[in-house]
Structure 1
Amino acid sequence: MNRNEAFLHLNDPLPADIARRKDMGDLTGAIRLIDQRLEQCRQPLLAPRLEAERLRLSRLPGDYPYSRKEALAMIRAEWPQCTEDQFDALVDGGRIDWRMIDGELRCHERFLESLRIYPKEAPGLKQEETDNTLRDQVLARMEEAGELTARITLRASIRALVPVEGREVQAWLPIPAACPQQSEIRILECTPGGVAAPEHAPQRTMWWRTQGMDRFTVTYSYLFRARYVDPRTLPLDPVQPTFDLEEQAPHIVFTPYLRALAAEICRGCSTPAEKARAIYDYVTGQVDYRYQPAYLQLDCIADQCAKTLRGDCGVFALLFITLCRIAGIPARWQSGLAVRPDGVGPHDWAMFYLAPHGWLWADCSYGSSARRNMENVRRRHYFGSLDPWRMVANSAFQAPLTPPMSGWRQDPYDNQVGELMVDGRGLDAPEREWSQELLDFTLLEQED
């Protein structure tokens, strides 16, 4: 079995003694009990769940490196007036993500970046700088023309930070996949020996197997076509499709809470388009952005997002997908990169299907950001449409790479920045570095 399939078992409850150790922050004790059970080999059906949990616990301190004292000092370096009570209010209000580790509250590595998004609650911190002038211009141009197409050239790289001399190294870097938005995909240059996965691979990559090589690079170009659609204006077929409506444990799960929530959100809606819009409005209107730990640390992502009302782009997407599927609307994952002319970075969003028009898009993360800034035109745009600033590499969540990676993946769910494996062991985040460089971005003129 591909060991990353162990993460399919995260919804299986842990043995009570291990769960208690984990809940009290005794990671060392929980790992000790896991090791004992794995060594005894008496419960083989439980082994995948235990192995996945052991990896999570071993990586958890890296996601939550700051003690309460350290986190408060970091805040006070910019906001000296911040009191203990104000810090506690930020924690209790869900603005600061935390875990108990070795009996101590530890804060998420990007907690300060999360706080900057909410200046009313953290008024002494430097605010997140956002200038959506160019974005709004592009979206307006797209809506007027009906679509925009960009020619994009990117260079991606990944490098091992551990010794690799005399060792087998395998690398996977995401590359553009065939999908409704992308065409004319070309690999322009790559580290020798690279093998491209089929264009329709669910998580498409360039793959290498080498001896002693520590750095891998691929340069590619493609056309990205973003069309504008307002789902509220579309005539629909009386019979809608029944594909992409299933659960996908452990994160797209129809829990009792989500079933009840979907019924409440969609009450009074008569068409799939109305239901999808109501779900989009709920997610973008109620869920606030907060940087997340590695997704392997999260339990039943859609359900927990609905209950905490906190998430990042992928968490938003999974909640939207799950609620749509419960409501009978086909929905699926799509991810890769946000490719603005001034920067490139990982991003996730969702797709939903309305017959006879096919797949449409919902970027709930960008919609929530627009709501936060009281920019409803942009919020409306991202229900049904995207923008030309994208690279799609992945069409499925928790899909295998090509060929499958036998060692633990750094991200067993998505692939936006790449994976590395040395002598069969997957490298964790601190053991590697990656980059994505935009070489060319050109918006093409529309043909008459």
Structure 2
Amino acid sequence: MKSLIYLAGLLFFIGCTPKPAPVNNWEQERLNRIKIDFCLSEAQVKEYIRKYIPDVTDEQMRQWEKDKALEYMMIDGKKCYFRNAGPNLFRIDSAAYCVKVAKEGVFLSGSEQVNKIHLPEVIEAVKQSGNDTVMPKHMRVTYTITVDANAVPEGKTIRCWLPYPRTDQRRQRQVKFIRASEPKYTFSPASCQHSTLYMEKKAVRNEPTVFSESFEYTSYAEWHRLKPEDIIPYDTTSTLYKKYTAERETHIRFSPRIRELVAKLTEGESNPLLKARRIFTWINRYFPWASAREYSTIENIPEYVLDNRHGDCGQVSLLFITLCRCSGIPAHFQSGFMMHPGAWNLHDWVEIYFEGIGWVPVDQSFGIPTFAQDADERMFFLGGIDSWRMIVNSDYSMPLVPEKKFPRSETVDFQRGEVEWEGGNLYFNKWNYDMKIDYLN
């Protein structure tokens, strides 16, 4: 049974310095977050849909809702739609997708445009060099969090955790700190699964509070020419195998539904690589990318993906990890940012372990590229990853250093950062983040 976690309530400012709001329990805070995500009326969603389907009917709306293509919740007796319900409809429902394509055509995303050129270069570089990490990209980054003016009372200390590139990764090297906005700062130890730079600053009345950091690092692409015959049996007695094939709170759970699905997907197959390929291609085929509600509001993310027939990068990654672990393939979460020129964003992916080869990357949400020209490119992201990454996390839902006093805004992943003060956590609607990237080669 989930224990109660307490969080300070939201502060409202009415021209005077407020006192901290009373403490609410976690379920109330979770509901507050859901209300932020589910904020559209049916009229607003229809307005978007009419861009592509001018004569949309109530009957169509009800069918899309039944099919989980239009995401909504009943809140306080009122039907409230997810903030991206309209755009997601045209990603999830195949008929709606075809309508949109007929009107606008098919275009590669910014990262796909980069990778269409980049992936063949990575594959060729690996084949020519014999190394599985190639094509380094050196970047200088300035990351900034700006807390809203008067989000906390004047003179109160704001605590801030910024994402910082990991220093313990084979694909991420030459990490160099340049500067921070505050004279005092703390780096998390390399042993921490979330890599952070921590700072504090006192709020000034009517002024935003800004935290920033600058650093450089080099990111490498990685690609393995994986063959079933090269995969040897696991040492199932090893600590690594036991740890990374186990269940984990709260999202990696081997429910009867998961066990039945794994048995069906891997029936008759014992080779770990071929099992992983079946899982990878199945998720790629049946679970399109769609904008996601906040992870902290979801009880079990893999089950949510199965129920709703879609997921964003972290959600399908956790489904892939769960199915792999349940099938006896060691897997763990990895995340940070995709740093493609002109297309940087938060991003999550996976690493899986093959005996005799080691850990290899898997990007489930990048999946099988539509632009792939051959088998190597089609399966690139099962055993490969592009150069354009910043690795911040090696797991999910792990402690921050120094310890956070209130529940995190993002209880699963850590990318945008975290902010709090003595009165409670500052949720994402109280601050914003930005990244400036200089590509040095």
Q: 1:152 aligns with which of 117, 120, 139?
A: 139
CA separation of 1:59/1:423 partners in 2, compared to 1, >3 Å: closer, same or farther? same
> Equivalent residue of 1:198, what SS?
coil
CA contact (8 A) 1:334 1:348 kept: yes
Q: How does 1:381-400 map to 2 (within 5 A)?
A: 381-400=380-399
Gaps of 5+ in 2: 5-21, 127-133
Gaps of 5+ in 1: 1-7, 13-38, 40-46, 443-448
Q: 1:199 aligns with which of 174, 190, 194?
A: 190
Residue matched to 1:35: none
Work out whether 1:72 is the aligned partner of 2:61.
no
Point out the more displaced range, 73-82 or 175-184: 73-82
How far did 1:81 drift?
Answer: 2.7
How far did 1:236 drift?
Answer: 2.4
> Equivalent residue of 1:364, what SS?
coil
Q: 2:221 aligns with which of 226, 230, 242?
A: 226
TM-score, structure 2 as length reference: 0.84
CA contact (8 A) 1:291 1:311 kept: yes
1:84-116 CA distance string (max 9 Å, x none): 233333323322221111222211112233234
CA contact (8 A) 1:417 1:434 kept: yes
CA contact (8 A) 2:336 2:390 kept: yes
Give the letter aligned to residue 115 of structure 2.
R
How far apart, in 2, do the equivalents of 1:129 and 1:91 lie? 27
Work out whether 1:185 is the aligned partner of 2:175.
yes
How far apart, in 2, do the equivalents of 1:78 and 1:235 lie? 49
Point out the more displaced range, 324-333 or 144-153: 144-153
Which protein has the bigger helix share? 1
CA separation of 1:441/1:335 partners in 2, compared to 1, >3 Å: closer, same or farther? farther
How far apart, in 1, do the equivalents of 2:31 and 2:155 lie? 31
1:303-351 CA distance string (max 9 Å, x none): 2323432111111010111111111111000000010111311000111
Work out whether 1:136 is the aligned partner of 2:131.
no
Q: How does 1:245-260 map to 2 (within 5 A)?
A: 245-260=245-260
CA contact (8 A) 1:255 1:303 kept: no
Residue matched to 2:72: 98
CA contact (8 A) 1:162 1:432 kept: no
How far did 1:218 drift?
Answer: 0.7
Residue matched to 2:15: none
CA contact (8 A) 1:406 1:424 kept: no
TM-score, structure 1 as length reference: 0.82
How far apart, in 2, do the equivalents of 1:128 and 1:423 lie? 49
Q: How does 1:105-116 map to 2 (within 5 A)?
A: 105-116=79-90
How far did 1:237 drift?
Answer: 2.9
How far did 1:136 drift?
Answer: 1.4
Residue matched to 1:406: 405
CA contact (8 A) 1:117 1:128 kept: no
How far did 1:184 drift?
Answer: 0.8
How far apart, in 2, do the equivalents of 1:423 and 1:263 lie? 49
1:8-31 CA distance string (max 9 Å, x none): 938x9xxxxxxxxxxxxxxxxxxx
1:274-313 CA distance string (max 9 Å, x none): 1111111221122122211100111211123234321111
CA separation of 1:286/1:258 partners in 2, compared to 1, >3 Å: closer, same or farther? same
How far apart, in 1, do the equivalents of 2:162 and 2:220 lie? 23
How far did 1:64 drift?
Answer: 0.6
> Equivalent residue of 1:9, what SS?
coil
> Equivalent residue of 1:289, what SS?
coil
How far did 1:166 drift?
Answer: 0.4
Q: 2:96 aligns with which of 109, 118, 121?
A: 121
Point out the more displaced range, 182-191 or 82-91: 82-91
Residue matched to 1:168: 157
How far apart, in 2, do the equivalents of 1:117 and 1:153 lie? 34
**C-alpha RMSD of matched pairs (Å):** 2.5
How far apart, in 2, do the equivalents of 1:234 and 1:397 lie? 32
CA contact (8 A) 2:114 2:341 kept: no
Residue matched to 1:336: 336
How far did 1:174 drift?
Answer: 0.3
CA separation of 1:74/1:281 partners in 2, compared to 1, >3 Å: closer, same or farther? closer
How far apart, in 2, do the equivalents of 1:69 and 1:287 lie? 27
Give the letter aligned to residue 76 of structure 1.
R
CA contact (8 A) 2:91 2:288 kept: no
CA contact (8 A) 1:313 1:348 kept: yes
Residue matched to 1:211: 202
How far did 1:79 drift?
Answer: 4.2
How far apart, in 2, do the equivalents of 1:347 and 1:221 lie? 19
Give the letter aligned to residue 329 of structure 2.
I
Residue matched to 2:351: 351
CA separation of 1:128/1:209 partners in 2, compared to 1, >3 Å: closer, same or farther? farther
> Equivalent residue of 2:197, what SS?
strand
